[in-house]
Amino acid sequence: MIEVENVTKRFGTVVAVDNVSFTVKKGEILGFLGPNGAGKTTTMRMITGYIFPDSGTVRVAGYDIFENPIEIRKHIGYLPEDNPLYTDISVMDYLEFLAQVRDIPKEKRRARIDEVVDICGLGDVLYRDIGELSRGYRQRVGLAGCMIHDPEILILDEPTSGLDPNQVVGIRELIKELGREKTVIISTHILPEVSATCNRVIIINKGKLVADGSPEELSNMMSGRASVVIGVRAPKEEVENRLREAPFVESFAETPSGEEGVLRYRITPSDGAKATEELFKLAVQNGWVLTELYRERVSLEEVFRQLTTSEEG
């Protein structure tokens, strides 16, 4: 549905997006992550045709961004960063304007407007000037505007920034609902939001793509670094000596087990070690009674931090 191919964009000497490629399939909800200034907004602007790449190209629904920009824009609903809106016209006038340029037939316009007004909960403010609305309502106006033509693709740049927690949940639900039949790209700094709504994640850092996969895949990719927790019934001194000697253990720390006579440790494995298997063998060899043994899940936060901070070194 969306193919981004070796796209590069410079602003003066700043390389905002550096040779980035990825594809988004129909029906995917893609979370687009990266620290401030990573190039998320710039990438989205190139997909929507607001700006052109310096090199590389973007294809959307089979059309090339340089050859058929207008055709591409028909397929996309775009909520730009900071949700820009007119202030001096009413919500109704704004939606009518969009319905007109989006080529919705005259007799269907009113019905479609009613529909999105209903979905976004704008009924109470329909005839008020947009400039008078609260931030949350303005956000809803922005969302209503970008889906008025029922586009196959939604590109949302930080759609929940600045909303209160209830509204965030509301919008998240809405996006999930829309994602059932649409292709969605959503950028955000709120990682739990991604785990909750997205089935695919792309992380970009300093203009470069550093990770691409489902949230699970990204966790697994990092799983070599995941801590392993072991609980055993055994003499404390022996256990700690063995762990200290073991080559696959980088460090370990005792954690309370909450059970009399049971020792519990959180172990950081050395790079590339199959720590879980090795620990099992160790317990068997020494005749320890194993009460628990599992690998902790790497959170998306952890993955994000690893990929976007350790790059420098």
Partner 1 sequence: MRNVLAIVRKELKTYFNSPIAYIFMIVFLTLSSWLFFRGFFLIGQAEMRPFFSLMPWLFLFFIPALTMRLWAEERKLGTVEILMTLPVKDWELVMGKFLAGFILLCITLLLTFPLPVAVAALGDPDPGPLIGGYLGTVLMGAAYMAIGLFASTITENQIIAFIVGVVFCFAMLIVGEEIVLFSVPDFLAPLFRYLGLGVHFSSIGRGVLDSRDIVYYLSVIGFFLYMCVHTIEGRRWR
Ligand X SMILES: Nc1ncnc2c1ncn2[C@@H]1O[C@H](COP(=O)(O)OP(=O)(O)OP(=O)(O)O)[C@@H](O)[C@H]1O
Residue 82 in contact with partner 1, rule: CB under 8 A = yes
Number of chain positions touching partner 1 (CB under 8 A): 31
Decide: 228 and 269 in contact? Cβ < 8 Å: yes
Beta strands 249-254 and 263-269, pairing class: antiparallel
Q: Name which position in 36, 166, 285, 310 contacts ligand X (CB under 6 A).
A: 36
Listed ranges 30-38, 42-50, 175-183, 291-299: which one lies at the site for partner 1 (CB under 8 A): 42-50
What's the token pair of residue 120?
Answer: 């976004």
Residue 251 in contact with partner 1, rule: CB under 8 A = no
Q: Residue 73 touches which of Mg ion, partner 1, ligand X, none (CB < 5 to 8 A by kind)?
A: partner 1
Nearer of residues 28 and 158 to ligand X, judged by Cβ: 158
Residue 86 in contact with partner 1, rule: CB under 8 A = yes
Residue 11 in contact with ligand X, rule: CB under 6 A = yes
Binding pattern for the stretch 15-34 against ligand X, x by CB under 6 A and - elsewhere: -x-----------------x
Neighbours of 26 (CB within 10 A): 12
To the nearest 10°, report the CA torsion of 95, 96, 100, 104: 80
What's the token pair of residue 58?
Answer: 């973007």
CB of 39 to Mg ion, least distance (A): 8
CB of 175 to partner 1, least distance (A): 19
Residue 149 in contact with ligand X, rule: CB under 6 A = no
Beta strands 183-187 and 153-157, pairing class: parallel
Decide: 264 and 254 in contact? Cβ < 8 Å: yes
Q: Which of 47, 12, 227, 42 is nearest to 151 (CA)?
A: 47
Binding pattern for the stretch 109-148 against partner 1, x by CB under 8 A and - elsewhere: --------------------x---------------x---
CB of 149 to partner 1, least distance (A): 9
Q: What is the DSSP string of 200-245?
A: EEEEEETTEEEEEE-HHHHHHHTGGG--EEEEEES-HHHHHHHHHH
CB within 8 A of 276, min separation 6: which ones?
228, 293, 294, 295
Q: Residue 39 touches which of Mg ion, partner 1, ligand X, none (CB < 5 to 8 A by kind)?
A: ligand X
The site for ligand X (CB under 6 A) is made up of 11, 14, 16, 34, 36-42, 81
